[in-house]
């Protein structure tokens, strides 16, 4: 069997949080194209259902939509139960849900700070923890968390102390879980994308002036595309990455190299 065949995900059962659109949808599409069955987890159940239907129709796999708040332990537990009821097992978790608030630190309210940390960091912990419990019982699995290059640098000109702190936390959380579960065959890695041109980002009037500044600073002079994150996630989800755990993959077009 060649390397391409080995990288397929036929028979794998995966959930993707924040999977209805953007990076989550793009990576979920790649998983489905590689042969995996996918649970699309999102607060927007209508969009999640639409995405799940697209994946089934286009790839001949099974896909379901689940509404869940990743900051709510009861929702996360119910989500896991639904995945297991429909798929029978869980092989891969893509813990991707996140938000960003660009508010000066001196003006940010406690509620705003807590919202970002709750979704971006606590939400990743809760979903990774829940997935890890299942995988530890099964004897193995792969967890992929979405961090950000913002966990390595302070982006400018936008003020986003809460976002930067949350994503740095995701990177260290990923490494901690990887070490704890290494001998039990549960791998944990994260991706740290740079600026990615999702539909929402590109169509936001408030972000267009920032995009121009980002591109001017960027070595490649452009934003990344969601599909440019697909291959690393398929690799991490599959068996060819069996020696890869505790790693943070920065996909930023060399932005953090300057």
Return the active site residues. Answer: 148, 163, 167
Q: How many CA atoms lie within 13 A of 122 on its CB side?
A: 13
- Please return the burial class of 93, using the count of CB atoms within 10 Å of its CB with bins 0-12, 13-18 and 19+: buried
b/e sequence 142-153, b meaning 16+ C-beta within 10 Å: bbbbbbbbbbbe
Q: Which two tokens stand for residue 38?
A: 């996918």
Helix (H, G, I), strand (E, B) or coil at 171: helix
Q: How far apart are CA 117 and CA 147, in angstroms?
A: 12
- Rounded Cα distance between 9 and 83, Å, is 17
Residue 25: closest CA among 171, 174, 195, 196: 196
* Structure token pair of residue 167: 């994503």
- Taking the C-alpha atoms of residue 57 and residue 51, their distance in angstroms, rounded to an integer, is 10
**What's the rounded Cα separation, in Å, for the pair 173 and 76?**
18
Find the Cα–Cα–Cα–Cα dihedral 19, 50, 69, 119, rounded to 10°: 30
Residue 166 near residue 117 (C-beta atoms within 8 A): yes
């Amino acid at each position: 069997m060649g390397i391409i065949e080995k990288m397929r995900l036929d028979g794998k059962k995966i959930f993707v949080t924040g999977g209805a659109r953007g990076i989550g949808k793009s990576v979920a599409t790649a998983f489905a194209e590689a042969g995996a069955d996918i649970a699309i987890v999102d607060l927007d159940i209508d969009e999640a259902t639409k995405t799940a239907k697209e994946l089934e129709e286009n790839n001949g796999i099974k896909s379901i939509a689940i509404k869940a708040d990743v900051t709510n332990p009861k929702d996360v537990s119910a989500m896991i139960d639904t995945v297991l009821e429909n798929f029978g097992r869980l092989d891969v978790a893509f813990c991707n849900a996140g938000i960003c608030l660009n508010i000066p630190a001196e003006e940010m309210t406690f509620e705003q700070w807590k919202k970002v940390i709750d979704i971006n960091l606590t939400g990743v912990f809760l979903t990774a923890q829940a997935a890890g419990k299942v995988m530890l019982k099964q004897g193995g699995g792969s967890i992929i968390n979405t961090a950000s290059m913002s966990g390595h640098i302070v982006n400018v000109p936008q003020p986003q102390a809460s976002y930067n702190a949350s994503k740095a936390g995701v990177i260290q959380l990923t490494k901690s879980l990887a070490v704890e579960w290494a001998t039990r065959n549960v791998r944990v890695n994260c991706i740290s994308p740079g600026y990615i041109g999702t539909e929402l980002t590109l169509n936001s009037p408030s972000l267009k002036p920032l995009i121009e500044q980002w591109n001017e600073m960027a070595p490649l002079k452009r934003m990344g595309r969601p599909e440019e994150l697909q291959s690393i996630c398929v690799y991490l989800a599959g068996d060819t990455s069996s020696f890869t755990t505790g790693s943070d993959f920065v996909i930023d077009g060399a932005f953090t190299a300057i």
